[in-house]
Structure 1
Amino acid sequence: MNFVLAAGGTGGHMIPAHALAVELKSRGHGVLLITDERGARFPGIFENVPVHILPAGRLGGGPVGWIKALGAVARGRAQAKRLYGEHRPDAVVGFGGYPAFPSLLAASALRIPTVLHEQNAVLGRVNRLLAAEAEAIGTAYDQVDRLKPKYGAKTVLVGNPVRIEIAKLGELPFPPFDEFAPLKILITGGSQGATVLGQVVPEGLGMLEASLRRRLQVVQQCRPEDIEGVRGRYAELGIPAELTTYIEDMAEKLADAHLFIGRAGASTIAELSAAGRPAILIPFAAATDDHQTANAREMTKAGGARTIQQASFTAEVLARQIEAMAADPIALNNAAARALSVGRPHAARDLADLVERIGNGLAPVEVGAGLTPRVRVGAPAGGVPA
């Protein structure tokens, strides 16, 4: 079979699309990627996969912006239709983001089946626009806000695909940790970094009680413009820290970590829960529909994470939360097990099963081992109606 994957250019869209591509290719299927300029430059993924860049406007910017965006969408749709005419896929899989929009519109126009994958716990704007036409919607969470109840019959919980090397971490023991072992902390702010983490985390680590502070080993991702300032602050505090602007060997860093501190992006949550790593999560306050707070909900409720809203994210609050999780080794080990309990390390397999079914003209049920199409849908209590 042949499949087209359409994804926006951010890591949150590209990484699960890549994981699905690897799984589909391992089954002997052909895969083609449609994305934007950013996605085509994303390092280390989609090797040996044909990549097509199509125009796609971002809706916004007032009347002039809308006109430009609609023109770009129309051009992208026309190009996608020509592409499908030359190489007709069995299904087109959309991972959200505006670059996926024209590709999916073209597929619907040509009656090619479409599957949507939603990485976040709030259905994204593009997926909301396309949900009615899709044959199936795969979700990463069992509760998805702004997903209309009428789509429940074609909605399947599959999880958010992660890279194979990270999925395998959940099969290994949690790194040994007791009252004498180093406390290894990994800090990231998503693919672009987060200045607030560089401002708050070193100060918070410096406020830890001595029994924890003297055992710290830190790896932190920083924005390029922040890294030297953060490096200097760690040196002043006497805390050993490895700083970088981009973590290429995420699986290796995550394998060593006892505790994660960072944003609650979809891929981050999927990787933490698949690997079984406890976390302190600081959702990005400006995320669309506050979806990062929703992403953190499941892992926090299970006891595998603690969530601090950015407005309350101070050095003292962070220090007390770290002590609550790590001062007792048993508590930290239990939090790791609870994080693992909500992980879905077989998401790539289950999403591939769903995509194959749709490509074969079958209903979106009986996907994966024991999965059902039941997903709680609708707006959160007190939120915006779906």
Structure 2
Amino acid sequence: MSTPPAADDGHHDVLSGIVRIFLHSNLSIILVIFSLIVGVTALLITPREEDPQIVVPLADVYVQFPGHTAAEVEQLVSAPLERMLYEIDGVEYVYSMSRDEQAIITVRFFVGQDRERSLVKLFKKLNENTDAIAPGVTGWVMKPVEIDDVPIVTLAVTGAADDSYALRRIGEELVERLAVVPQVSRAYVLGGQSRTVAVRLDPQALRSHRLTANEITEAVQGANAAVPAGSFTRNDETVQVEVRGGLASAAQLQDLVVGVFDSRPVFLKDVASVVDGAEEITNYVRHGWGPGRGFAMHVGSPSTKLGEQAAGHALDGGKSTVREDATGRGQEAGAHAHGEAKNDSTAISSPAVTIAIAKQKGANAVHVAEAVLARAELLKAEILPPDVDLVITRNNGLTADHKVNELIEALGVAIVIVILLLTIGLG
């Protein structure tokens, strides 16, 4: 008695075997769940940043050429250096800016070039051609530039009084405390007037005491220096000896002996005036309202004041303004969120200083910005006077979060569309 042939399940090749495994098991469901877990984890741990993490090696070379005009600096320093730096392999662009006694050369390499190798090639090229640089160049400094050097948060410190010196002191105090926030790489202050002790020489008094400006400079530097003076051993102990001069106040500087004339000591106050106060103004940063005031904004948006951002409370908006300082560099100023009598008109602006905060490479811009603003709000309540405001003028963490959310939403819509098409097409 013959037996009927077994039913043929189809081809027995490798591909058919793989398809059969997925059809008759729950492996497909497991892989889908695993893929979802991996995707959600990637969304949670990937840093949210507004600027793309692309490698573009870039460096600024600051060349000092004292005693020459901008035209001479361009002809003798900038143009020859541009031609020389273009010879480096991998360089895409070379820019230069010439000013009195200084040239700034910007070297940009192609995208994807190794950053360390590019900087080494630039440093090597400069050192190999020291003899080709114009005589009179006292030195240069090479400063690498990265995308993470761009501040993600800027705060404008502004007050009722037109005192940029006091605002600068407040800004310097704030920036030291904000710099310790985790994953903050760089924090600095723009604008205002720093405290300085200025020595203003009297030419007539110098001539009458037979002194020169160089002698005054050497005397001040020597009195404020600290140098090792050797060591000696006593009772099996080594004692280090250091000669230290210290000028702790302007009064000590005034009583400094800078020379001898007619067998009598000459004090600094005899040939100069010493002023302890604000430095001379080199740039201007001002804060003013823009015509966009009155629009509802998110918490932490630019042109809102810290300390008045209650959840669920409508915030007034404003446009940030940018004013250019005396050095040609743009400075940001913000706009208040709520109008006050001291600066309510859009035609009125007041002195301000800007605190700029940059994050570390690879850090989440959203988390860093939120931590900085939270810390700044605490500091405002602790150390700021009542008439001084902190205004957010830039918050890249907020914009980065918004862009990433839009991207995730677009990806979700695309996934739904693909699933619908597969369902309709395959049944």
Query: TM range, normalised to the smaller chain?
Result: under 0.3
Over alpha carbons, which structure has the higher Rg? 2
Q: Which has the higher strand share?
A: 2
Q: Which has the higher helix share?
A: 1
